[in-house]
Amino acid sequence: MEGFKHEKIHTMVMDMTKDDDVQTVVQKVLADEGKIDIVVNNAGTFAFGPIGEVMMEQVRNAFELNTFAAVHVSNAVIPSMVKRQEGLIVNIGSIAGLITSPWNTLYCAAKAALHSITEGLSMELKPFGIDVMLVAPGGVKSNISKNQASTFKLFPNSMYKEYEEQVIEQMNMAAHKNSMPTDEFARQVVEKALCGALPPYMSLGWSARKVAWLQWLPRQYVLGLVYKTMVWKKEKDTT
């Protein structure tokens, strides 16, 4: 958060996976400012690794930060928004929540759950004048993959050890040369969020259009295409 230097920006420490932390920060902001107009649930983390070898602790961690944290924060703020009959909640999902990919299945599942929660929340809060917006980014330049790819290792006895390079390659896809610059992504999201006709859903960034198109095709075909791209290529190379 060091780059956010402005007299009107005040940073606070909050562990989004802990209810006490969330309540403390929300109540502090309400006490100081009197209201919360917009909440953006942007925290998230990758959860790479074969789902067949994942530990339950990894499953819980993936959902705690990518899914449950958004519910923690939203539910802490909603009562104050209901009183005012206005407010906006923006949840940052991912195109990974639209089409599952191997090696990143946990992250895909957690984001897919967040998508469903956001859509349901949007319908449930509409009677109270509260808007809910889902953003499903494609590739956007950030350090999320860089930070994890540098330390990622499969278990020494993993049955997927020969696929390790492919797993790391997929982790680095978010840093693709065609990924959208972070400031441009932020500008477009803010522009849409503050416009008069708020869209309930928007997707942007590298591969976002391709994923949108793939959703119109038969699911079996799409998953087969993903398999050939991310798994079968390795099998072919080693045959």
Q: What is the pLDDT of residues 45-89, one digit of tens each?
A: 888 889 999 999 999 999 999 999 999 999 999 999 999 999 999
- pLDDT band with cut points at 50, 70 and 90 for residue 238: low
- pLDDT band with cut points at 50, 70 and 90 for residue 230: confident
Cβ neighbors of 238 (< 8 A, separation 6 or more) are 162
Question: With pLDDT > 70 as the criterion, what percentage of the chain qualifies?
Answer: 93
Cβ neighbors of 73 (< 8 A, separation 6 or more) are 16, 22, 26, 39, 41
- Comparing C-alpha atoms, which of 62, 47, 159, 61 is closest to residue 103? 47
Q: Are 46 and 65 a contacting pair, CB within 8 Å?
A: no
pLDDT digits (tens, 9 = 90+) for 23-46: 999 999 999 999 999 999 998 888
Residue 131 pairs in a beta bridge with: 88
Whether this prediction's pTM lies above 0.75 is answered by yes
- Comparing C-alpha atoms, which of 135, 64, 45, 4 is closest to residue 12? 4
pLDDT digits (tens, 9 = 90+) for 8-19: 888 999 999 999
Q: Are 16 and 73 a contacting pair, CB within 8 Å?
A: yes
Phi and psi torsions of 133, nearest 5°: -125, 135
- pLDDT band with cut points at 50, 70 and 90 for residue 236: low
- Comparing C-alpha atoms, which of 110, 112, 103, 238 is closest to residue 170? 103
Domain boundaries, the chain: 19-230
- Give the DSSP letter string of 26-48: HHHHHHHHS---EEEE-------
Cβ neighbors of 113 (< 8 A, separation 6 or more) are 63, 67, 97
pLDDT digits (tens, 9 = 90+) for 140-165: 988 776 666 666 788 889 999 998 88
Residue 91 pairs in a beta bridge with: 41, 134
Pick the CATH number of 19-230 from 1.10.10.10, 3.40.50.2300, 3.40.50.720, 3.90.1150.10: 3.40.50.720
The confidence score (pLDDT) of residue 147 equals: 66
Is residue 201 among the annotated active site residues?
no
- Comparing C-alpha atoms, which of 50, 43, 49 is closest to residue 66? 43
Question: Residue 189 has which token pair?
Answer: 């999201």
Task: Collapse the DSSP code of 177 into the 3-class scheme (helix H, G, I; strand E, B; otherwise coil) and give the result.
Answer: coil
Q: Are 195 and 130 a contacting pair, CB within 8 Å?
A: no
pLDDT digits (tens, 9 = 90+) for 166-190: 888 888 776 678 899 999 999 999 9
The confidence score (pLDDT) of residue 233 equals: 59
What is the rounded distance in angstroms from the CA atom of residue 139 to the CA atom of residue 146? 13
